[in-house]
Amino acid sequence: MEIINLEGTEDTPKIILDKSNGIFEISGRSLPEDSAEFFNPILEWLESYSEDPNDKTDFVFKLEYFNTASSKLILDVLSALEDIDNTTIHWYFHEDDEDMEEAGEEFSELVELPFEFKTY
């Protein structure tokens, strides 16, 4: 499977989707001009991955900030991950960032996935 490895910018998150090495991560800031267009390849990749996933999928979110449009697409990513057995979400947030912690808690209530909350 093709690896998605996008370097983060000021407006877009760093994204690594690497099935063979078991690395699945979205990190940084997410406020792309067109969130749907930006996240579409990620959703397509996850759809392909769901047809033949690894035995275990640890998906890391380490976001500093995301806008409202991105939150909808993050939920779409989480919804796609619901179809993949043995997926765990690792939601990282800065120790003093209550907003990002709460966002993770809200997402965890919207999807049927185990969440692990971690500070950094």
Question: Looking at residue 51, what is its pLDDT?
Answer: 97
Q: Residue 10 is inside which H or E element, if any?
A: none
What residues does each domain of the chain span?
Answer: 4-119
Q: What is the CATH number of domain 4-119?
A: 3.40.50
Question: Looking at residue 35, what is its pLDDT?
Answer: 96
pLDDT above 90: percentage of residues in the chain: 100
Relative to beta strand 4-6, strand 23-30 is unpaired
Mean pLDDT on 84-111: 98
Mean pLDDT on 67-89: 98
8-47: pLDDT as tens digits: 999 999 999 999 999 999 999 999 999 999 999 999 999 9
Question: Looking at residue 98, what is its pLDDT?
Answer: 97
